[in-house]
Structure 1
Amino acid sequence: MAYPIDEDKFVSICMREIGEHDEVDEKVAQAVAATLNWAHHKGMIDNEKRM
């Protein structure tokens, strides 16, 4: 997986894999993508501080 994650693409892939989905599924997938991007960004900042 490449970072930062394209949230729209991630949601689209998740919805395709789920099949029958609703708005809540889309919001959860969007939140997961945003959280992964945030965690990746935070990790990069923490690594810069250590150097």
Structure 2
Amino acid sequence: MNIVVILAPFSLALALIGLAAFWWTLRNDQYEDPQGDASRILIEDPEDRPL
């Protein structure tokens, strides 16, 4: 039963960290241009390829 006392707050803290990270990505416009990102994958420009 002692393990529940340790794991319950730990799991809540981990969930809050994940929620804070998701909220940060929303506030910093990480999801602003999904169509542009999808179309840039298909560009075959030799200058954009790694060496």
TM-score normalized by the length of structure 2: 0.51
Higher helix share: 1
Task: Tell me, in whole angstroms, the C-alpha distance in 1 between the residues paired with 2:2 and 2:13.
Answer: 17
Q: CA deviation at 1:25?
A: 1.1
1:47 counterpart letter in structure 2:
L
Q: Say yes or no: does 1:46 pair with 2:28.
A: no
In structure 2, the gaps of 5 or more residues are: 33-51
Number of residue pairs matched by the alignment = 30
Percent sequence identity over matched residues? 7
Counterpart in the other structure of 1:33: 12
Q: After the TM superposition, which segments of 4 or more aligned residues of structure 1 sit over 6 Å from their partners?
A: none
In structure 1, the gaps of 5 or more residues are: 1-21
TM-score normalized by the length of structure 1: 0.51
Flag the structure with more relative contact order, 1 or 2, with Cα contacts below 8 A and sequence separation at least 6: 1
